[in-house]
Chains A and B, each alone.
Chain A
Amino acid sequence: MSEVDMAVIKPEMMKSYIWLQTADGSIQQVEQEVAMFCPMICHEIMQKGLGSSKNYAISLPQRVSPAMLSLILDYCRFHQVPGRSNKERKCFDEKFIRMDTKRLCELTSAADSLQLKPLVDLTSRALARIIEGKTPEEIREIFHLPDDLTEEEKLEPLKNTTDDPRIRLLNRLYAKKRKELKERQKKKSVEVEDGCVDERSVDDLLSFINGENADSKGVRTSKNKKKNRRRRDPQKRTSIDQVAESHKKDSNGLGCLGHTTGGDNESHSTLSETSKLQDIEDDIFDHKVELDDVDIDDEIDPALKEEIDREVEDFARRLNSDWPERMQELLSLGQDRSPVHFSSNGNGSLRKNRRDLMVEK
């Protein structure tokens, strides 16, 4: 740093200047102590001996346009003066970064290529503040980004992003319901094993279905396809199906199947939509999901299933749409959890409390 020392010790000597060349070919002179504030320029001077004359101007990286260089040099010129207080520097910084987002991005890029970390940190923090609290759509608008993710890819990140106590509550209720269903399955399968009437009626039903109604076979496959899409454990599925089949003693259950056959196109799309939305909610749940909710609910309690689907859709829609309010909510909720009164003593009270949840919002 001897040249800089000289510049300080002998003020009557001319200040040393460094020659810099930007990618567009233009060359300019800059006070040495200002330019040396940038590590990259410092390196070029020290290690390669460049910059001392017009012919040996330091070539700056392409990301440094003349406009950006001017800004950077302003920054350096201020900060390289040793006597300034922290307060002064902070004040300067706050005024300095007041520029449009496009320039902020260019400045970050230019400062990064010159390895000027303090400026990179400053502009990065400013850009982070711009991004904070915005919805994906708003961020796309600000940065002119293309909307190039598929619906599935977009929904993926929404898992687990909320700390909404109501959603956590819904998860618990779902988990409890699943447990109940599991226990009910176990009980039923025990009954079947005991060789009671159920088993025979399963065979009857199967032969009835296979013999008379060729369509329902198709339905079963389409249901399986849907299940495959949801990537459940195949073993578990079949055992559940068998047990579920044993439930269908009355036409109601068969009617359910028939209905699904009839409105194939419609129900398929609503089913897939529901399954997708349920995927979101499912993924918000604990990872150890063993039952296929949709199918079980089909056989056991269609009305409740509809209600659950509606609520799930609603939650997902709300998650998707009101991010700003939700963010405010989250920020204000923090760790506070409002007392929620619920009891789950079986299906009846479960339904009641879900309605309460819906009304709350």
Chain B
Amino acid sequence: MTTPVDGGARDIISCLPAECLAQIISLTSPADTCRSAAVSHSFQSIADSDDVWKSFLPSDHEDILSGTTSWPELSALSKKELYLRLCDNPAIIKSNQNMSFALERQSGKKCYMVGARGLAIVWGDTPTYWTWTNLPESRFREVAELRYVWWFDIKGRIGTRMLSPATNYAAYMVFKFARNRKGFSHKAMDLRVHLEDSIAGQGRKLVILDPADGLPKPYQERGDGWLEIEIGEFFNDTGDDGTLLCSLMETDGRFSKVGLIVEGIEFRPKNNI
């Protein structure tokens, strides 16, 4: 514990008014700000303040959140609590209940997941091929379960204006394998991300979703009970690029595809370091 001994050991930051210190701290990151709160009393009161945490939240967060199902509860939280809450607990958009909003922890940028009901799943409305069930581990009311299909075609869309500007995003299909699955281990799936109205920003790859044991898996565990596979990346500049479209397709009619459970497609920032 440092106790001030002489004039030189006195703290050098108390000459700053609170607003200055708040500005300085808001120029660091949310993680740094949390650490700052463990420094001293003076730092803590600033590091926990709404002024600082408001700068980490998206500028339109209140507009977005007032349209979610958890708004009354969220509006009562401090900005810091709100930020931390949204990192781990996505809020469901009221208007269609098929979309969730969350924040990326490091940067405070927007994350959206479009639920299966909000995706365009070919043959999705034919119960022979796809069924809709309620799973407790899903944030949405329903998830899509593939019984079998030859034409596997899922598309998801999001308006680029909804995403944070000047941010590199990646789209992920959030899914699980059913107990019995078939048709994903030998044929590669066609994954694409591009702007709907142009071929600009076209990213495309062919990936085998369920490779044989011993081969590296193209998907990873999310930690919330689901798996995810990256469909592609997109750099969102100003948000004026119209609609972003992702698609997953495997339409070779010789092979049926069986046993996939789809929760949705998530769009979240990706840092390429």
Q: From A105, A135, A156, name the one whose CB has the most chain B CB atoms within 10 angstroms.
A: A105
Identify which of residues 91-112 in chain B touch chain A, using a CB-to-CB cut-off of 8 Å: 104-106
Mostly, the B contact residues are loop
A102 touches B40 (CB 8 A): no
Q: Does B156 belong to the interface (CB within 8 Å)?
A: no
Chain A residue numbers with a CB within 8 Å of B199 are none
**A108 CA / B11 CA spacing, docked (Å):** 15
Question: Which of A131, A155, A336 touches B25 (beta carbons < 8 Å)?
Answer: A131
For the A-B complex with A106-B12, A109-B15, A335-B268 known, give 16 more contacts whose Cβ atoms are closer than 8 Å.
Answer: A108-B20, A136-B36, A140-B2, A140-B39, A140-B40, A143-B11, A144-B10, A144-B11, A146-B1, A146-B2, A146-B40, A147-B1, A149-B40, A160-B34, A171-B223, A287-B85
Chain A residue numbers with a CB within 8 Å of B13 are 105, 143, 145
Identify which of residues 278-320 in chain A touch chain B, using a CB-to-CB cut-off of 8 Å: 286-287
Question: Which of A143, A157, A171 touches B35 (beta carbons < 8 Å)?
Answer: A157
Chain A residue numbers with a CB within 8 Å of B75 are none
Mostly, the A contact residues are helix
Output the nearest chain B residue to A161 by Cβ-Cβ distance: B34
Identify which of residues 324-359 in chain A touch chain B, using a CB-to-CB cut-off of 8 Å: 327, 330-332, 334-342
B223 touches A145 (CB 8 A): no
A144 touches B12 (CB 8 A): yes
Output the nearest chain A residue to B32 by Cβ-Cβ distance: A132
Q: Does B9 belong to the interface (CB within 8 Å)?
A: yes
Shortest distance in angstroms between B216's beta carbon and chain A's nearest beta carbon? Answer: 9
The size bracket of the interface on B is 35 or more
Shortest distance in angstroms between B137's beta carbon and chain A's nearest beta carbon? Answer: 10
Shortest distance in angstroms between A170's beta carbon and chain B's nearest beta carbon? Answer: 10
Of B42-50, B56-64, B177-185, B235-243, the segment with at least 4 beta carbons within 8 Å of chain A is B42-50
B44 touches A157 (CB 8 A): yes
Q: Does B126 belong to the interface (CB within 8 Å)?
A: no
Q: Does B27 belong to the interface (CB within 8 Å)?
A: yes
Chain B residue numbers with a CB within 8 Å of A154 are 38
Identify which of residues 154-177 in chain B touch chain A, using a CB-to-CB cut-off of 8 Å: 170
Q: From A63, A124, A172, name the one whose CB has the most chain B CB atoms within 10 angstroms.
A: A124
Measured CB to CB, the residues of A under 8 A from B are: 63, 101-102, 105-106, 108-109, 112, 120, 124-125, 127-128, 131-136, 139-141, 143-149, 153-161, 163, 165, 168-169, 171-172, 286-287, 323, 327, 330-332, 334-342
**A332 CA / B104 CA spacing, docked (Å):** 15
B15 touches A131 (CB 8 A): no
B4 touches A128 (CB 8 A): no
A146 touches B4 (CB 8 A): yes
Shortest distance in angstroms between B48's beta carbon and chain A's nearest beta carbon? Answer: 8
**Contact (A146, B3) CB under 8 Å given A131-B36, A157-B35, A338-B220:** yes
